[in-house]
Amino acid sequence: MVDDVSVDLPPSPLLTVPGAVAGPPGTPDAAVAWHYGDPFGEQRAAVERAAVVDRSHRFVLTITGAERLSWLHTISSQHITDLGDGESAEDLDLDLNGRVLNHFVLTDLDGTLWIDTEGERGQDLLDFLRKMVFWADAKPEAAPEHAVLTLLGPGIAALTETLGVEQLPPAYGAIALPSGGFLRRMPWPTGDSFDLLVPREELQSWWSRLTTAGVAPAGLWAFEALRVASLRPRIGMDTDDRTIPHEVHWIGGVGEFGAVHLNKGCYRGQETVARVHNLGKPPRHLVLLHLDGSADSRPEVGDPVTAGGRAVGRLGTLVDHYELGPIALALLKRAVPADAQLEAGPMAAAIDPDSVPADDEPQAGRLAVERLRGR
């Protein structure tokens, strides 16, 4: 079962596009199109040509004020005090025990810090930010009048005139759009990934402008398939209430395309982050599973992954990839061998060995302890 899901999100106006099929009922994606009649063709277009995905169900908020960056820096996991105008980052909100509560993308542009996150979690994140302001010159506010579209594919390089920009930004870079909003480059799910944050009232006009220029409409199925294949987690789908950042590849500064900087000042949950990094190992890690598609039924997000009838992990996003077939992300116990024979509900599963993180590096803290002991 998906964690903390609200199904009361308003439907996207782009669901009226011919051929649009809404996301599965009762999921976080029911408010946008899952596909437009050709799921695998849409994925191929997103990899080989150019595609646009409606992600307008993401929650958008802004933070204004002179201390917006320095203030958020003190209560979140990423190092952002030096973030420049037109630069972006990924960030986490952790609880006192270092468990992940929220994952969000932020962009600072023209005196405003823009944040977008999962739709069903956005209000909780906004409430937390408002409670933490105290005397700082920072003002968090919801921005429902803005929405996110995502562009994928190498063909985006030929669309600068359509987008109204002179050139495409580098990874995590953002450029203001003439009609409002901005274009931001993301390092995933492919090397040619861009977010358009635009006025919500212009969603349909942007969609028409892009598709008229030859960009293929693609549902969220395409985005999710590429995200899973690139081993990028989605909070609430590939995480649970015990997940710590080390388990799901969120460790790293802005330049490392991570969401947790390991050498910054105090923030909530930092003690756990530092302890695991320096002295311990995460109890689980996120891997890619290849699944047997011949089964009559499928498991659901949150179902156990088993080995010999014993639970060894938790299933995350399961999706059909246009080349890889049925694949899924899963949080597995670290001790599970890469060649283990696994089951996810009625489906046999195998770990993609390339997705297993290297786990043989000695930790700095552990080495220091050994030196103090004279070993």
347 Cβ contact partners less than 8 Å away, ≥ 6 residues apart: 291, 292, 293, 295, 298, 299, 326
Residue 269: left (phi > 0), alpha (psi -120 to 50), or beta?
Answer: left
Largest interatomic CA distance in the chain: 71
Q: Distance between CA 187 and CA 178 in Å, rounded?
A: 24
Q: Around 288, how many Cα atoms within 13 Å sit in the side-chain half-sphere? A: 21
* pLDDT (tens place) for every residue of the chain, 375 residues total: 444 433 346 799 999 999 999 999 989 899 999 999 999 999 999 999 999 999 999 999 999 999 999 999 999 999 999 999 999 999 999 999 999 999 999 999 999 999 999 999 999 999 999 999 999 999 999 999 999 999 999 999 999 999 999 999 999 999 999 989 999 999 999 999 999 999 999 999 999 999 999 999 999 999 999 999 999 999 999 999 999 999 999 999 999 999 999 998 889 999 999 999 998 899 999 999 999 989 889 999 999 999 999 999 999 999 999 999 999 999 999 999 999 999 999 999 999 999 998 865 555 544 433 444 555
pTM of the complete model: 0.93
Residue 196 β-bridge partners: 149, 183
Q: Distance between CA 203 and CA 215 in Å, rounded?
A: 15
What is the residue type of 319? V
Q: Distance between CA 164 and CA 197 in Å, rounded?
A: 14
What sign does the dihedral 302-105-175-190 (CA atoms) show? Answer: negative
pLDDT in tens, 183-225: 999 999 999 999 999 999 999 999 999 999 999 999 999 999 9
Asked if 314 and 302 touch (Cβ cutoff 8 Å), the reply is yes
Residue 310: left (phi > 0), alpha (psi -120 to 50), or beta?
Answer: beta
